[in-house]
């Protein structure tokens, strides 16, 4: 199994937004019935500045799937993917192999990984962090986010980062691309702001469920077009 992430930047029209919202609901049946897919998430995106609804980007949407590698090209031309392309002006496809994954997403760890590849990979890294935030802890969580975001986006090893979410509130995460594993580790374990949040997470019990995963970025097709 491999992990594939599609990111679509759609046309900036109300019709395109309505179609994207429809896909977020209607695509679940087909994705769930595809025997090659073991896990999927349809995701909204945002700037990741505060992890509040004001971050939301209604013109950028994402799909994450874990899929049998032999079925990827068939899936890439499937009806669902082609329908997204009809409303998108830009598409990014990331293909990644899990290196490590800790925690749970919707009750399970969906990323099978091999210890054999870990010491050998010195290329770009894709990282996903996501959490289900305890409802009464949202305000404390939001107050802790800005310093971490500033530290993240000023890190020289970061290529790109966006916020991801399954809902406007309470189910938030970050997808980030790094030049290498050393850059990600330096941010995660040496950055003062991130270290404080890790400690606060343990003390405050912010999360009902959380997951951190890092991947070898095997292939990238397309680039995010950043708004001016």
The reply to whether 175 falls in a domain is: yes
Residue 19 lies in a domain: yes
Span 43-87, pLDDT tens digits = 999 876 655 567 789 999 999 999 999 999 999 999 999 999 999
Of 183 and 74, more confident: 74
Percent of the chain with pLDDT over 70: 74
Q: Residue 179 belongs to what domain range?
A: 2-221
Q: Does residue 227 fall inside a structural domain?
A: no
Note whether residue 99 is domain-resident.
Answer: yes
For residue 171, being part of any structural domain is answered with yes
Closest to 7 (Cα-Cα) out of 20, 18, 25, 22: 20
Q: Lowest mean pLDDT: which of 9-18, 66-75, 123-132, 219-228? A: 219-228
CATH code of 157's domain: 3.30.70.100
The verdict on residue 68 lying in a domain is: yes
Nearest C-alpha neighbor of 166 from the set 62, 85, 75, 94: 62
- Residue 190, domain member (yes or no): yes
Distance separating alpha carbons of residues 8 and 153, to the nearest angstrom: 22
**Do residues 125 and 214 lie in contact, with contact meaning Cβ atoms separated by under 8 Å?**
yes
- Taking phi over 0 as left and psi of -120 to 50 as alpha, with beta for the rest, 135 belongs to alpha
User: Which of the four pLDDT bands, split at 50, 70 and 90, describes residue 122?
Assistant: confident
Q: What is the pLDDT of residues 126-180, one digit of tens each?
A: 999 888 776 555 555 555 554 556 556 667 888 998 889 887 655 678 899 999 9
228 within some domain: no
Counting the structural domains of the chain, the total is 1
Q: What pLDDT was estimated at residue 18? A: 96
Tell me what the mean pLDDT of segment 30-54 comes to.
85
Mean pLDDT of the region 194-199: 53
Structure tokens at 58: 């209604």
């Amino acid at each position: 199994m491999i992990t594939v992430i599609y990111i679509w930047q759609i046309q900036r029209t109300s019709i395109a937004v309505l179609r994207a919202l429809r896909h977020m609901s209607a695509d679940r049946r087909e994705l769930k019935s595809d025997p090659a897919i073991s896990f999927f998430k349809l995701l909204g995106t945002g700037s990741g500045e505060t992890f509040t609804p004001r971050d939301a980007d209604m013109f950028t949407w994402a799909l994450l799937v874990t899929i049998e590698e032999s079925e990827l090209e068939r899936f890439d031309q499937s009806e669902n993917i082609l329908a997204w392309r009809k409303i998108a002006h830009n598409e990014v496809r990331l293909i990644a192999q899990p290196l490590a994954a800790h925690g749970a997403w919707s009750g399970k760890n969906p990323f099978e990984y091999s210890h054999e590849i870990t010491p050998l990979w010195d290329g770009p890294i894709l990282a996903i962090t996501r959490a289900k935030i305890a409802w009464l802890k949202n305000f404390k969580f939001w107050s802790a986010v800005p310093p971490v975001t500033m530290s993240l986006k000023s890190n020289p090893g970061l290529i790109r980062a966006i916020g991801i979410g399954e809902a406007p509130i309470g189910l938030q995460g970050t997808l980030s691309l790094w030049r290498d594993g050393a850059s990600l580790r330096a941010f995660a374990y040496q950055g003062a702001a991130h270290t404080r949040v890790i400690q606060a997470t343990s003390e405050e019990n912010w999360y009902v469920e959380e997951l951190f995963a890092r991947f070898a970025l095997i292939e990238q097709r397309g680039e995010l077009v950043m708004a001016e």
